[in-house]
Amino acid sequence: MSGTERRHGDVRRALRELFADAGVSGLVHVADVRRPEAAVTLGPDERVPIASVYKVPLMAAFWRQVDAGVLDPRRAVTLDPSQRVAGPTGISVLADPVTMSLRDLVVLMMTVSDNTAADAVLRAVGPAAVAQTCRALGLPDTHVHGGVAHTWDRLVAETGTGSLSAAMRHIASNDTAAPEDVYDPAHTSSSTPADIARLLHAIWTDRAASPAHCAFMREVMSRQPWRHRLASGFPYDDVRVSGKTGTLGALRHEAGVVELPDGSTYTAVVFTRAARADATLPRADAAIGTAARTAIESLRSHPPL
């Protein structure tokens, strides 16, 4: 066994132990943006439901359609209360009609993970354009099936409950087992850590869309306010962490990019599934940031020749 293989084995073992201690199973893909072949991975090609991480390929598809002249980002959209998609943030919690540009809806869906905004953007872009974007960017295992509205409808059906609130209580209970179809990647938006890492790399190297629109995507991802997952591993003012979280029942994910003071930049994708169904599991959230930091430290300690 070579020294490199031994180091890779050591860091994968450390990641497994970290996840086990936090009560989760985890998948990881962390790579140097300048040399994406330099990566630390754990189950990088395993396809899983990605929850709100689907909003990243949706955002890329939106800007590619703008670049092609298909969509006007300034086009105003009015969303009535009847079009609300359940969610804890943004337009999803408002009671009155809202009129906003498509571009600003993208900002809301990425910064505060607004489900109603994302649903409106997906209607404008269309699932076929998202699928085409995934093919064009080399993401063969990434599939977006109807966004959050589709996920909520399936969740109610699969749990046999009569409402979304009842379905959420069902999958958050440790006294009842969630139907396995809830976490079946064949029936909901899904991807792999490797695919999402490739997408982030394309955004950070101006290949996902035009340079100006890739810059927009980088900026909007840097404005996500949640600091309890990926960013928790890098609690420093001079480290920039951009990301998109995803949460569904026992699933806690984040996909993002870590930019260090010396200019080095790393894509960091960590997907987890908790053994317990509790809605609040701080150690599971923090394990995402710790796993990313562990992988980045390994890459920096043993850079490839």
- Walk along the chain (305 residues) and give the pLDDT tens digit of each residue: 455 666 778 899 999 999 999 999 999 999 999 999 999 999 999 999 999 999 999 999 999 999 999 999 999 999 999 889 888 999 999 999 999 999 999 999 999 999 999 999 999 999 999 999 999 999 999 999 877 777 777 778 878 877 877 877 877 777 777 777 778 898 899 999 999 999 999 999 999 999 999 999 999 999 999 999 999 999 999 999 999 999 998 999 999 999 999 999 999 999 999 998 888 999 999 999 999 999 999 999 976 54
Calculated CA dihedral for residues 58, 212, 201, 186, nearest 10 degrees: 10
* Inter-residue contact 200 to 256 (CB < 8 Å): yes
Contact 183, 249 (CB under 8 A): yes
DSSP-based three-state secondary structure for 46: coil
The helix (H) or strand (E) run that includes residue 270 is: strand 265-274
Closest Cα partner for 147 from 109, 178, 98? 109
